[in-house]
Structure 1
Amino acid sequence: MRAAVVTSFTTPLQVMDVPVPEPGPEDVLVRIETSGLCHTDIHAAHGDWPVRPTPPFVPGHEGVGRIERLGSAVTSRDVGQRVAIAWLGGACGRCRYCISGWETLCEEQTNSGYSVDGAFAEYAVVPAAFATPVPDEVTSLDAAPLTCAGVTTYKAIRVARVAPAESVAVFGIGGLGHLALQYAQIAGAFTIAVDVEDHKLDLARSLGADHVVNAAREDPAEAIQRLGGADVSVALAASSASFDQAFRSLRRGGRLVCVALPAGGTMQVPIFDTVLKGISVIGSIVGTRNDLADVFALHAAGRTEVVSLERKLDDVNESIDDVLAGRVPARIVFGLG
């Protein structure tokens, strides 16, 4: 099969022929139709984070396709069923996190395209229990970004406890940000879009953002404070400076939700302001299988819009360059079907 493989952290991905993976007894083999390009895939390919994957490996955790083969012990899925392969590639199911609804915190979890091979390939293997069914009403092109960008921002809005008529500032309008705006609006919030690219702010306006701020032209924290401050700021940009801006944009009692993981990033939080203003700082990492089912249900009902560009897997390195240069409005999705 054809796959995009990370052979080194310092060289481009190589699109090459590799063996089709074999499913274990509790796994399914999925013929991939679409696979989204997430910034996490770029971090993985460059070895940006303290815990690195081990080359050679296949990135990709926004995979959508149909099951071609079942493991010998699988009874919960069917051949031909369309499923999604998400970042959470597996969890133990026994620890305190798994049994309390926080499987994304499981210390024994596997991560698609990071600790196990992912979906930048014609075929991928995933545990049947973590192959989330995709409703017929959701196209494979849309389902791919929803599998990470969607479920990650949906979870971020949920953990922020966004209430109707609150103000939510979204820092970084791209694959994640354009969906975060929509989930905040579904929760009844007024939204403020922050980015450094005018074309992304135009996208935010088209999706119903109440205000937009170009952080390349003015301090977004000051601009948002002139609007009265944000109840919630969602930090989605892979820039440490944007986290500080997001914090400073909050009004009293506000919540900063940290989602992006800038390479080598650090965040300084002023203790005095945090305590006296009652600020909460919340870390939010992707979502559970139930969250992903909710994301698919909302999209099937017509509540969200996914903005994407479809490309071929052979264009993976050019696509990474485009993402890093800010030339992509929202999400790139590789068509493999």
Structure 2
Amino acid sequence: MLVPRPGAGELLVAVDACGVCRTDLHVAAGELPPHRPDVVPGHEVVGHVLELGDGAQGFRVGDRVGVAWLRETCGRCRFCVRGDENLCPESRYTGWDADGGYADFTTVRADYAYRLPDGYTDAELAPLLCAGIIGYRALRRADLPPGGRLGVYGFGASAHLTAQVALAEGARVHVLTRSPRAQELALRLGATSAGGAYDAPPEPLDAAVLFAPVGDLVPVALRALDRGGTLAVAGIYLSDIPALNYERDLFQERTVRSVTANTRQDGRELLAFAEKHHLTVAVSPYPMDRASDALADLAADRVNGAAVLRP
């Protein structure tokens, strides 16, 4: 392939590992509208810096670097100014608006690149750059109280990392997923219980995060919440939500919140957490030329943990 040139303020990055995210699947399947024809997917990129564009600061050639979903924001709108850059109307995304990491090389603005914690392999770090970050934001949006009871619906790449963050912070975690292998992984990681996606957890929940892109699970999760509980919907895509019954699903101050992308601060906080509390990252490796197989396995729920491409 042609080696891209870094623009002003950008880094040229040689890709050492790239996670396979469900968002890539939604883009490939047309569930998310294409932003650019024939764009190269991939936004969980771990690599090393090959070249600095004019004015790029903060990194040197050879540094290990992370490239994530949020690629660029305007920095001027009311959302950016107040710290909510994830809501910027002019935001652009790696692997959607610009070529991503399913390739040998990619570029990233230096001020949107991440320094990475030690103690992890490249393949282990890659899922942290979206699955980890968006799960971290979803957990914060769910308003889990200290020592609270968390429900996790779906248990793939993002959920298995988010559960570990909650466990490290003292929560009781109940995992609800259709996959027996994922249930086993959840229990190995320390979950209090693991059951079917439509099962009732063994105790009322203070908070829940929905990772599965299944709208039918929204009323299921809401009914599992205790009074005042919050459900955060973590995905960028969700199938249609069935009609909610106010008294049964929402009354007693239950709350539903969406999660939209992430801020760079979310990323910095998650990576700092991962440096302090070593996370177990379940990785299913694929060679880069088998990216289509990785996406197919992800679509069929055959991936336990996170699929990661390696050159």
Common topology (TM > 0.5): yes
Please give the alpha-carbon distance, in whole angstroms, between the structure 2 residues aligned to 1:117 and 1:265.
30
Corresponding residue of 2:203? 228
Give the aligned partner of residue 304 of structure 1. Answer: 279
Report the counterpart of residue 213 of structure 1 in structure 2: 195
TM-superposed CA distance for 1:268, in Å, is 3.6
* Match of residue 30, structure 2, among 47, 51, 56: 47
Equivalent residue pairs, number: 311
Are 1:247 and 2:229 an aligned pair?
no
Note the alpha carbon deviations across 1:259-282, whole angstroms, 9 max, x for none: 124465345433344653101111
For structure 1, list consecutive stretches of 5 or more residues without a partner in the other structure: 2-18
Aligned to 1:63: 45
**Is 1:83 the equivalent of 2:65?**
yes
Structure 1's 268 and 118: CA in aligned 2 closer, same or farther, altered over 3 A? farther
Instruction: Report the counterpart of residue 12 of structure 1 in structure 2.
Output: none
Deviation at 1:251, TM superposition (A): 1.5
- The aligned counterpart of 2:299 is 324
CA RMSD of aligned residues (A): 1.6
Which residue identity is paired with 2:17?
Answer: T
246 and 276 in structure 1: CA distance in 2 versus 1, 3 angstrom threshold: closer
- The 8 Å contact of residues 138 and 299 in structure 1, kept in 2 or not, is answered as no
Pick aligned residue for 1:167 from 149, 157, 169 = 149
- Structure 2: distance between partners of 1:308 and 1:275: 37
Q: Which residue of the other structure, out of 263, 277, 287, is the alignment partner of 1:288? A: 263
Kindly state the Cα deviation for residue 92 of structure 1 after the two structures are TM-superposed: 1.2
Are 2:117 and 2:274, in contact at CA under 8 Å, matched by a contact in 1?
no
Residue 6 of structure 2 corresponds to residue 31 of structure 1: no
Contact between 1:273 and 1:279, CA under 8 Å: does it hold in 2?
no
TM-score, reference length from structure 1: 0.88
Equivalence for 1:188 = 170
Q: Which residue, out of 124, 130, 143, partners 1:148?
A: 130
| 1:92-144 alpha-carbon deviations (Å, 9 max, x no partner) | 11222222221111111110001111111110011111011113333211110
Normalising by structure 2, we get a TM-score of: 0.95
Identity across matched positions, percent: 32
Once residues 88 and 244 of structure 2 are traced to their aligned partners in structure 1, the CA distance between those partners, rounded to angstroms, is 27
> Counterpart in 2 of 1:139?
121
Aligned equivalents of 2:79, 2:270: Cα separation in 1: 21
Aligned counterparts of 1:283 and 1:46: Cα–Cα separation in 2: 22
**Unmatched tracts of structure 2, length 5 or more:** none
| Distance of 2:277 and 2:239 partners within structure 1 | 38
Distance 2:244 2:170 in 1: 29
- Tell me, in whole angstroms, the C-alpha distance in 2 between the residues paired with 1:276 and 1:42: 35
